[in-house]
Every structure is written in C-alpha cells, then in structure tokens.
Amino acid sequence: MNKGTYFASVFIIIGFLMLILRYILDVKFLDLKPEELWPFIVIGIGLAFESIYFVTSRNPSFLIPGGMLTVSGIVLLFEVSTNWEYAKYTWPMHIFSVGISLLQYYLFGFRNKGIYIPAIILIMISFIFGITSILQVSNIQLDYGLAASITIILLGVFILIISKNNKVTNKEQ
C-alpha cells in the first residue's frame, strides 16, 4: 500500500465513523465542549507518528505508537462524545489498538513472525472480549469454559497453519 492510498484510507474511515456516529448513534461532534476535545490531541499525536514513517519511509517503529494512539484516540473521542456511556463495551478496543499497531509494523516494516503472531493474538483476544461484553449486555449466558476451550483450539489450529507454512517455505529454499 503506498502512502497516498494509506492516507486516503484513513480519511475515508474517519469520515465514515463520523457519519455513523452523527446520524446513526446521534453523536454530534460539534456539540463537544472545549474540555472534551482532548482526544483530538491523542489522535493528532498518533497521526504524527504515523506520518513520520509514511513521509520518510524510514524507521517503521514509529508505526507502533502511532497505531496505538490513533486507534485509542478514536475510541476515546467516541467515549467522550457519548459521555462514557459505552465504555463497558468498548474497552477491548484498547487491546485491539495494540494488535493493530503491531500488525502495521509487520505489514510496513519488518516481516517477522515474532511480530505477526502476537498482533493476531491480541486482535483475536480483543474480539473475544468484545463479543463477551456484548453477550453479557444482551443477557445471554456464556459458558466461559466452552469459550476458553474453543479459543485454545483455534489458537492451536492457527499455530499449526503457521508452522506448516514455515515448513513449506523452508523446503522450497
């Protein structure tokens, strides 16, 4: 993905989020008080880290704090906009921000499986926590033993797939 495509994607995603928040969830950004604008600072710092890499194409380690701060800043902006009403549901997004930042580092930086695997695990964990948060609110009883077992099985399958891919790649060399 080139720089222009990346920045265009970021703006498109932010625009869609703003439309969804304003017209579906009835969250009005322009109605924020000045003391509620601090998440924009977090987002700005995150985007500054992101742009350092995408402008210079050097030192992809700037993507890690950039990704974490940008995603967390967007979540915090949503929380401030909704008066922290949904914080009990959105907290897994902070774990997701770490996974996304590591995935960015893997995709644009060094293609090291030592970065890729933790990124995918963190993203999966955030989705699992997010789903359990939603299920608890919906009064659906979740068997945590079953959920833990399925998660461990899926993690094992994921590791097997990765190890098979490594063996195929090593044999081809």
pLDDT in tens, 68-113: 999 999 999 888 888 888 888 889 999 999 999 999 999 988 788 8
CA-nearest of 119, 127, 109, 117 to 165 is 117
pLDDT at 145 over 80: no
Q: What average pLDDT does the segment 28-36 reach?
A: 68
Q: How far apart are CA 33 and CA 76, in angstroms?
A: 15
Within-domain flag for 163: no
Dihedral sign (CA 19, 20, 24, 27): negative
Q: Check residue 163 and give left, alpha or beta (phi > 0: left; psi -120 to 50: alpha).
A: alpha
pLDDT classification of 1: cutoffs 50, 70, 90: low
> Per the domain annotation, does 23 fall within a domain?
yes
The CA dihedral of 92, 97, 114, 61, to the nearest 10 degrees, is -160
Cα–Cα distances (Å) from 69 to 48, 122, 149, 158, in that order, read: 10, 16, 32, 28
Whether residue 46 is contained in a domain is answered as yes
State pTM to two decimals: 0.66
Q: How many domains would you assign to the chain?
A: 1
pLDDT at 99: 94
Q: Is the predicted pLDDT of residue 171 greater than 80, yes or no?
A: no
pLDDT exceeding 90 applies to what percent of the chain?
24
For 77, the domain range is: 3-142
Summarised one tens digit per residue, pLDDT across range 134-144 is 777 766 666 66
Cβ proximity of 92 and 133 under 8 Å: yes
24 lies in some domain: yes
Residue 87 lies inside a defined structural domain of this protein: yes
> Does residue 146 carry a pLDDT above 90?
no
Work out the pLDDT band at 57, boundaries 50, 70, 90: confident
Residue-wise pLDDT for 103-131, tens only, equals 999 998 878 888 888 999 999 899 888 88
Compare 68 and 6 and report the one with higher pLDDT: 68
Distance of alpha carbon 135 from the chain centroid: 20
Residue 147: pLDDT above 80? no
In a domain, 81, yes or no: yes
Residues in the chain, total: 173
Residue 152 lies in a domain: no
- Is residue 160 assigned to a domain? no
- Say which residue, 50 or 81, is predicted with more confidence: 50
Percent of the chain with pLDDT over 70: 82
